[in-house]
Amino acid sequence: MKQTHETLGRVTDDFQRVEANDCPMSTCAVPAGSPCRTTKGRVAVQYHTARFRLVPSLAKALNVPVPPVRKPGAAWVELPRPASAGTEPAGHVRIGYARASTARQSLDTQLDSLAANGVTRVFSEKISTRATQRPELEKAVTLARELRTSGVRVTLVVHEHKRLGRGIELATLAEDLKASDVGLEFLTGELKGSHDPSGVVFTVLAALSGMEREYIRDRTLEGHESARRRGKAIGGASVTDDGMLAMALHLREQEMSLRDIAARLVITKGAKKGQHPSPATVMRMLRDHDEQVAADKLESQ
């Protein structure tokens, strides 16, 4: 009987500690003092994982049931918010990550967003998501894992999920973080909030984000190909010609950068005659050439 009383006391303490925090799940988002709810507006049978793991002593628990006093299955109603709610649990570290795809893009919006949400330790870099290695992200994840093994609760905070990746790459990274018991939070976008990477909502939205990128890419390439067949220039009046392409290919073989190649080339026609093309123009010219060469090879096979 003594053990039963101790168990009941622990369960009571558990649910009170859990309800001291707002639920971070965007599909629930109940305020402190109230039990978690289902998508149908009923009191949940158990608290959401992202919520009860805000309590350090429950960080490794598999589940925390909602006690009978909260009437699981009944219509959910908001209960009074406790006076002690909203305090940050001890030992919680929020690590930020910011990324831009190109050197010309600014990180200011992401950095300001992270700072406004209390994130002081931020790793940032300017690199494409298609890069096989992103050094600053790897540093952020490594630090998060090290801190988590020391016993503190850790959350990786990102302005928007696209900064981490899309589709399968995003789902894979999220699963790796989950395996290390590191939280993941997005401040804006379709996946705003804290999500369980193994949950259906997260998986579906992550997959859709990857499909969106592939759809846009496919439609863009199809549009380019259609325009070429009709003899139309892509992106406005073309400033390139065969001579410029031949010189650019020669300079690329010498492993010169796009900026240096552009500085060596001169536009020979149109309103910009006598000027240098931009590095972006050179990049598109070389890319179109490479795509055409690859297509010709496929047709000859």
CATH number at residue 119: 3.40.50.1390
Instruction: Indicate if 200 and 99 belong to the same structural domain.
Output: yes
pLDDT, position 106: 85
pLDDT digits (tens, 9 = 90+) for 24-65: 777 788 888 899 999 899 999 999 987 887 777 787 788 899
Instruction: Indicate if 105 and 32 belong to the same structural domain.
Output: no
Query: Residue type for 278, please?
Result: S
pLDDT of 98 over the 90 cut? yes
The residue among 193, 210, 227 that closes a domain is 210
pLDDT digits (tens, 9 = 90+) for 121-158: 899 998 876 677 889 999 999 888 887 876 678 889 99
Q: How far apart are CA 175 and CA 63, in angstroms?
A: 19
Phi, psi of 121 (to 5 degrees): -100, 110
Structure tokens at 252: 């690329």
Instruction: Indicate if 200 and 111 belong to the same structural domain.
Output: yes
Q: Is residue 167 part of a domain?
A: yes
pLDDT of 3 over the 50 cut? no
Instruction: Indicate if 160 and 193 belong to the same structural domain.
Output: yes
Q: How far apart are CA 89 and CA 153, in angstroms?
A: 9
Q: Is residue 82 part of a domain?
A: no
**253 or 42: which carries more pLDDT confidence?**
42
Is 128 designated active site? no
Residue among 51, 39, 50, 25 at smallest CA distance from 76: 39
Alpha helices (H) in 122-278, listed in sequence order: 135-149, 167-179, 200-229, 242-253, 258-264
pLDDT, position 148: 80
pLDDT digits (tens, 9 = 90+) for 104-123: 788 888 999 898 888 878 99
Instruction: Indicate if 105 and 191 belong to the same structural domain.
Output: yes
Domain that holds residue 289: 236-300
pLDDT, position 1: 39
Q: How confident is the model at residue 228 (pLDDT cuts 50, 70, 90)?
A: low
pLDDT of 226 over the 70 cut? no
Instruction: Indicate if 25 and 101 belong to the same structural domain.
Output: no
Q: How confident is the model at residue 88 (pLDDT cuts 50, 70, 90)?
A: very low
Average pLDDT (8-25) is 72
Q: Is residue 148 part of a domain?
A: yes
Q: How confident is the model at residue 195 (pLDDT cuts 50, 70, 90)?
A: low
Q: What percent of the chain has pLDDT over 90?
A: 14
Residue among 95, 163, 155 at smallest CA distance from 123: 95
pLDDT digits (tens, 9 = 90+) for 160-180: 888 887 666 776 777 778 778
Count of domains forming the chain = 3
Q: Is residue 259 part of a domain?
A: yes
Instruction: Indicate if 161 and 198 belong to the same structural domain.
Output: yes
The residue among 70, 100, 124 that closes a domain is 70
* Active-site residue, from 26, 101, 124, 180: 101
Tracing tokens 């010309």 back to the chain, one arrives at 104
pLDDT, position 214: 47
Instruction: Indicate if 103 and 199 belong to the same structural domain.
Output: yes
Q: How far apart are CA 108 and CA 69, in angstroms?
A: 48
Q: How far apart are CA 59 and CA 52, in angstroms?
A: 7
**216 or 284: which carries more pLDDT confidence?**
284
Max Cα separation, the chain?
94
Instruction: Indicate if 97 and 18 belong to the same structural domain.
Output: no
Q: Is residue 227 part of a domain?
A: no
Q: Is residue 103 part of a domain?
A: yes
Q: Is residue 189 part of a domain?
A: yes
Q: Is residue 257 part of a domain?
A: yes
Instruction: Indicate if 53 and 111 belong to the same structural domain.
Output: no
Q: How confident is the model at residue 265 (pLDDT cuts 50, 70, 90)?
A: confident
Is 201:27 a contact under the CB 8 Å cutoff? yes
